Amino acid sequence: MSSPGDDSRSKRYDRQIRIWGAEGQSRLEAARVLLLNCGPTGSETLKNLVLGGIAAFTVVDAARVSARDLGNNFFVAPESLGEPRAKVVTALLKEMNECVAGSYVETPPEALVEADPGFVDRFDLVVATQMTEPHLLHLESLCRSKGVKLLAVRSYGLAGYMRASMPEHTVIESKPDTQVDDLRLTRPWPALREFAASFNIEALDDGAHKHVPYVVLIQQALESWRRERGGAPPSTAAERAEFKRRLAGMRRVGPEGVPMEEENVDEALKAAFHAWTQPSIPPEVRRVLEDERASPAAADAHTPGDDFWLLAAALRAFVANEGGGCLPLEGSIPDMHATTDLYLRLQRVYRAEAEAHAAAVEAHAARMLAAAGRPGGGVAAGAARHFCRNARNLRVVRYRTLAEEVAPESARGEALAEALGEEGTAANASLYVLLRAADRFHSTHGSFPGVLEGEVEADMAALKGLAQQVVAEVGASGAAAADDYACEMCRLGAAELHVVAAVMGGMAAQEAIKLITRQFVPFGGTLIYNAITSTTSVLDL
């Protein structure tokens, strides 16, 4: 399967495939994105996704290109003044990447959502930009009912807002920056023991000696340590130091009494902690395993292509049974000093055990499916292995609904009060409150505060009043939004500044990519960008 088209594609996306891999890229290339409103915030967000190579996008926007657009949106041209903005932006976005299909609908997004609720069905992700709270609430319930992910993004003066909404987002590849190698030297299985014991290290010639993999050196040292000390691995600082001295003692000494350069011994010393570090289950993964969805009942709800909770249930069963409290073995080994042959043999030992663990997990899943009366509906080939290989990286992000966030009975007033009161977050929490207040202002006045000439002072007072109302309603008693920020918001009106839109578009596309590729961990709350102080805060409300 190779054509010039494929080639230029892998070439074009080379730098990002280095980040999210071929699998992530193919998910991106299958994604269909709906953009609501294509001002600078929406256009910039979509630009970043089109460059990345999504399958298709549709732009919904009712505006005509105005002089103001020419000043803040890169994806309109002077000669298109007066034309439908959705059409112009779509055409210019498509120019950036011929692999991406694009279409547009010239209508107000709010109206489209009312008139054709099934419209969102055709998309994987809805990016709603510059929409006010009442419309977002409506859109959210629609997206939730259709199972479509929603990302709301907004630039307002020098403030930015972003929030995702979907019941939950599961991640198998959260891709932590660093991870300790899963060597299991404290819990060796028979094949690893045998492999390590098969080396008569003393008898090897010098050339072979320095090619013994360090895993074998540590394993042998640990075995003899345990034999001497009643089975316990080194635990106290003194014992660990003593153990390291033993490892160091494995280094050959040359005829002149000079210690030889043996990189495998150096590596063993660096990796000595494996001799006393027990495999553990990270707290985030423990939460996944203890989740009520990670139960045999997951088999009932299992749909092909989404194995997460079924496999989580199977994983839980594995940990409780075969695993003896541990996650499955990851099965890969780090680079180490060894002959190619020995390295491959060691790799086989690890891989075989990892495959046995994955098979056990898969068997649990099959048993659960059979018990649910759905035999044969097994998990996709290789899915269990992939899941097990990433067992330490599993994550679940759940999103409250926007409705829960704003309704007085379910709002987290205390959390808001805390954010408003704390030095590090006070300014950004104020912006959050003021954005909501501005939407209320808009609902009653039909325009945003400060937009109408000559009304600025009056609008400021009104906005402050509405902000107090928001704070009081959610029960954030004793807290208040900063007054000077209310003034700022009025002074700049609801202007969509390009410097803010560029930042929001970058961050929104980054989150969209996480949601689409199912890699990395998206943030869970409401993000506020403050261009006055160049900071962001994520508020969990």
Which residues, numbered 462-501, are part of the site for other proteins (CB under 8 A)?
A: 482, 484-485, 488, 491-492, 497-501
| Complex with other proteins: residue 472 or 492, whichever CB lies closer | 492
| Complex with other proteins: residue 10 or 443, whichever CB lies closer | 10
Decide if residue 48 touches other proteins (CB under 8 A).
Answer: yes
**For the residues of 427-449, what is the DSSP string, one character each?**
HHHHHHHHHHHHHHHHHHHSS-T
The rounded distance, in Å, linking the Cα atoms of 246 and 223 is: 12
358 contacts 392 by C-beta, under 8 angstroms: no
Of 4, 190, 305, 373, the one binding other proteins (CB under 8 A) is: 4
Region 325-354 residues binding other proteins, contact defined as CB under 8 A: 335, 339-341, 343
| Complex with other proteins: residue 24 or 378, whichever CB lies closer | 24
**For the residues of 36-86, what is the DSSP string, one character each?**
E--SHHHHHHHHHHHHHT-SEEEEE--PBP-HHHHHH-TT--GGGTTSBHH
Decide if residue 263 touches other proteins (CB under 8 A).
Answer: no
Region 208-247 residues binding other proteins, contact defined as CB under 8 A: 211
Among the listed residues 285, 293, 289, 326, the one whose alpha carbon sits nearest the alpha carbon of residue 521? 285
Quick note: the x/- pattern for other proteins over 19-38, rule CB under 8 A, is: x-------------------
The rounded distance, in Å, linking the Cα atoms of 339 and 106 is: 65
Q: Is the dihedral of CA 152, 443, 537, 504 positive or negative?
A: positive
Two structure tokens written together for 193: 């023991």
Q: For residue 517, what are the contacts with CB-CB under 8 A and spacing of at least 6?
A: 20, 23, 24, 25, 27, 28
Decide if residue 11 touches other proteins (CB under 8 A).
Answer: yes
Two structure tokens written together for 342: 């020995």
The rounded distance, in Å, linking the Cα atoms of 416 and 380 is: 44
Of 207, 230, 231, 373, the one binding other proteins (CB under 8 A) is: 207
Angle between helices 263-270 and 214-228 (to 10 degrees): 60
We find the least distance from the C-beta atom of residue 393 to other proteins, in angstroms, to be 13
DSSP 149: E
415 contacts 475 by C-beta, under 8 angstroms: no
Cα angle: 142, vertex 145, 151; to 5 degrees: 55
We find the least distance from the C-beta atom of residue 420 to other proteins, in angstroms, to be 13
Region 94-123 residues binding other proteins, contact defined as CB under 8 A: 95-98
Region 404-463 residues binding other proteins, contact defined as CB under 8 A: 423-425, 427
We find the least distance from the C-beta atom of residue 239 to other proteins, in angstroms, to be 25
Decide if residue 165 touches other proteins (CB under 8 A).
Answer: no
Decide if residue 53 touches other proteins (CB under 8 A).
Answer: yes
102, β-bridge pairs = 57
We find the least distance from the C-beta atom of residue 270 to other proteins, in angstroms, to be 15
Stretch (H or E) spanning 491 = helix 483-491
Q: C-alpha 56: how far from its chain's center?
A: 22
How many residues form the binding site for other proteins (CB under 8 A)? 80
Two structure tokens written together for 469: 């109302």
Decide if residue 78 touches other proteins (CB under 8 A).
Answer: yes
Decide if residue 5 touches other proteins (CB under 8 A).
Answer: yes
Of 360, 429, 503, 516, the one binding other proteins (CB under 8 A) is: 503
| Complex with other proteins: residue 132 or 530, whichever CB lies closer | 530
We find the least distance from the C-beta atom of residue 250 to other proteins, in angstroms, to be 20
Stretch that binds other proteins, among 265-273, 363-371, 440-448, 516-524 (CB under 8 A): 516-524
| Complex with other proteins: residue 48 or 165, whichever CB lies closer | 48
For residue 359, the tally of other CB atoms under 10 A from its CB is: 15
Stretch that binds other proteins, among 45-53, 117-125, 315-323, 351-359 (CB under 8 A): 45-53
| Complex with other proteins: residue 72 or 129, whichever CB lies closer | 72
We find the least distance from the C-beta atom of residue 8 to other proteins, in angstroms, to be 5
We find the least distance from the C-beta atom of residue 358 to other proteins, in angstroms, to be 26
Stretch that binds other proteins, among 43-51, 249-257, 358-366, 403-411 (CB under 8 A): 43-51
Beta strands in 315-446 (DSSP E): 395-398
| Complex with other proteins: residue 221 or 515, whichever CB lies closer | 515
156, β-bridge pairs = 159
Residue 186 phi, psi (nearest 5): -80, -20
Stretch that binds other proteins, among 65-73, 133-141, 223-231, 294-302 (CB under 8 A): 65-73
